[in-house]
A and B are shown apart, each in its own frame.
Chain A
Amino acid sequence: MQQKFVICVKNQGYEVSLERWKVYRVIPDDKAEIHRQIRVIDESGEDYLYPEEYFTPIEIPKPVQKALISTM
């Protein structure tokens, strides 16, 4: 399954949980999408819902994805 990643572009009010310009892994969540939210694993290591507008999607080559996931 294709892993999705995003870059945080906004973290106002969530400076502990999210770091601007950092890459985060997306966890699929159909319910969240309906409400224009996105589920990411944040700095706590747990997944939470955040507004889509806090992030921009990025494409990461598959070989790099595995290495990136191992650091998260």
Chain B
Amino acid sequence: MYFKIIGEIKDKEVIAVGRSIREISRLRRIYGDKRWRKLKGIATVRLSDNTICNAEIHWYEAHGIGKKEFKIKRIIG
């Protein structure tokens, strides 16, 4: 992960499940054939240049595998 999440992820929301995730075949091939969800939330993050800011982050999650590929959708303020 190219940034560090500081504290809790807030306002978590499922944005896609299973076949409604466009990259579902890649998810299954690379991490396993599970019931994948794509989620979003807001978190305080530390970027690689040590800037601390709030950001909307997205990630993938499946039972038995956990959370994968946290990525920043947008920096908030």
Contacts and interface: CB of A to CB of B under 8 A. Distances in A.
Contact of A45 (B22, B51, B69, B75): B22
**Majority secondary structure, A binding face:** loop
Interface string A31-43: 1100111000011
Contact of B69 (A17, A49, A51): A17
Residue of A13, A42, A49 contacting most chain B CB atoms (<10 Å) = A49
A43 B48 contact: no
B30 to A, nearest CB: 5
B1 to A, nearest CB: 6
Contacts of B74: 49
A64 interface: no
B37 interface: no
Contacts of A14: 69, 71
Interface in B4-43: 21-23, 26-27, 30-31, 38
Contacts of B21: 44
Nearest to B38: A44
Nearest to B16: A44
B71 A50 contact: yes
A16 B72 contact: no
Contact of A36 (B30, B38, B48): B48
A49 B60 contact: no
